[in-house]
Structure 1
Amino acid sequence: MYACIAQWIPPLERPRFIAVVLYAIGLGTAVALPMCGMVIDAAGWPAAFYVTGICSLLWCVLWFSIIYSTPAQHPRISREELQYIENAVRSSGTSHNGPTRVPWKSMATSLPFWAITVTEMCNSYGITIIRAQLPTFMKNIFGLSIKMVIT
């Protein structure tokens, strides 16, 4: 995602764009949990996996059909928009012209890199546990059934 953002989004628009993307991730969870509750209530728990899997596959088809790695590869972008994006990204110094060497040694010895890596791993672990255990928590602690949680 971040590699795509670096190619497509002008630097001054990136913070807002990333905020929207991160908000959408949480929104997806907020929509998926009640949806799965309705599916489980109507068709049993295995159906929730099928429905979310089908939704994911449909999203992939949509994504792969409209998203391209760089603006220059996109067949439906206007010339003005292409020039605007390429000029903004180029002038910021965040674009690149092909593969570069990964600075493994610098990364391995960088305290900020490890701080960000450990923080993100802990954050992802915590969010995953919350998302996985929320229905069980609602049932066992609040005594709500799946049917009650969705309405």
Structure 2
Amino acid sequence: MYACLAQWIPPLERPRFMAFVCFGTALGTAVTLPLCGIIIHTMGWAAAFYVTGSVSLIWCLMWFSTMHSKPAHHPRISREELQYIENAIRSSGTSSKGPTRIPWKNIATSLPVWAIIICDMGNTWGISLLNTQLPTFMKNILGFNITMVKLMFHVITPSSTK
């Protein structure tokens, strides 16, 4: 993702764009958990995996068919937008002159790189633990019931009252 962003997003717009990406990830989790409760209640527990997997595959197909590695390779980008992106990246001094040798030894022996790797592993482990244990915690500790999600969903959508 970061290599793609380096090619597509002008440097001054990257922080805001990354904020939206991170927010979208958290929002996706927050929306998926209650929807999975509704799916489990109406279609059974296995359906939650099939529905979310199918939606993910559809998203991937859409992404792979519309995304290109560089703006210059995209067939539907306007000339103005392409020039804007390329000029912004070039003027910031972050553009790549082409393939260079990757300093693997320096990377492997860099303490900051190892700190980032360890922190990312801990972050991923914590998020995975939270995502897998949150439904159990909500049911056993908070007394939350899947049918409550369905009732809340019916209250939110006025079309459900007939």
Same fold, TM exceeding 0.5? yes
Match of 1:137?
137
Q: TM-score, normalised by structure 1?
A: 0.95
Secondary structure in 1 matching 2:77 = coil
CA distance in 2, matches of 1:51, 1:120: 29
Match of 1:48?
48
Match of 1:21?
21
- Larger Cα-atom Rg: 2
Matching of residues 1-151 of structure 1 within 5 Å: 1-149=1-149, 151=152
Tell me if the contact between 2:38 and 2:149 (Cα under 8 Å) persists in the aligned partners.
no
CA distance in 1, matches of 2:45, 2:119: 33
Residue 2 (structure 1) shift: 0.6
CA distance in 2, matches of 1:81, 1:60: 25
CA distance in 1, matches of 2:4, 2:37: 34
Identical aligned residues as a percent:
66
4+ residue segments displaced more than 4 Å: none
- The count of aligned residue pairs is 151
Tell me if the contact between 1:34 and 1:149 (Cα under 8 Å) persists in the aligned partners.
yes
CA distance in 2, matches of 1:13, 1:147: 43
The one-letter code sitting in structure 2 at the alignment partner of 1:51 is V
Over the residues paired in the alignment, what is the CA RMSD in angstroms?
1.2
Deviations 1:57-100 (A, max 9, x none): 11011111221110001111110110110111122222224433
Any stretches of 5+ residues in structure 1 without a counterpart?
Answer: none
CA distance in 1, matches of 2:28, 2:120: 19
Of the structure 1 ranges 7-16 and 85-94, higher mean CA displacement relative to structure 2 is found in: 85-94
Tell me if the contact between 1:135 and 1:146 (Cα under 8 Å) persists in the aligned partners.
no
Secondary structure in 1 matching 2:69 = coil
CA distance in 2, matches of 1:48, 1:104: 42
Match of 2:156?
none
Q: TM-score, normalised by structure 2?
A: 0.89
Residue 125 (structure 1) shift: 0.6
Tell me if the contact between 1:9 and 1:85 (Cα under 8 Å) persists in the aligned partners.
yes
